[in-house]
Amino acid sequence: MNFHFPAVFIPLVSSTVSAGFPSPADDYTELSLDLNSHLIESPYSTFCIRVRGNSMEGARIYDGDMVLVDRSLVAKNGNIIIGALDGEFTVKRLRMEEGRTFLLAEHPCYDPIPITEANDFRIWGVVTYIIHKTHRI
**DSSP state letter for 115:** E
Catalytic entry in 14, 37, 55, 133: 55
**DSSP state letter for 22:** P
- 113 forms beta bridges with 103
Q: Yes or no: say if 48 and 5 are a contact pair by the CB < 8 Å rule.
A: no
What H or E segment, with its residue span, contains residue 35? Answer: helix 35-39
- 92: annotated active-site residue: yes
Q: Catalytic residue numbers?
A: 55, 92
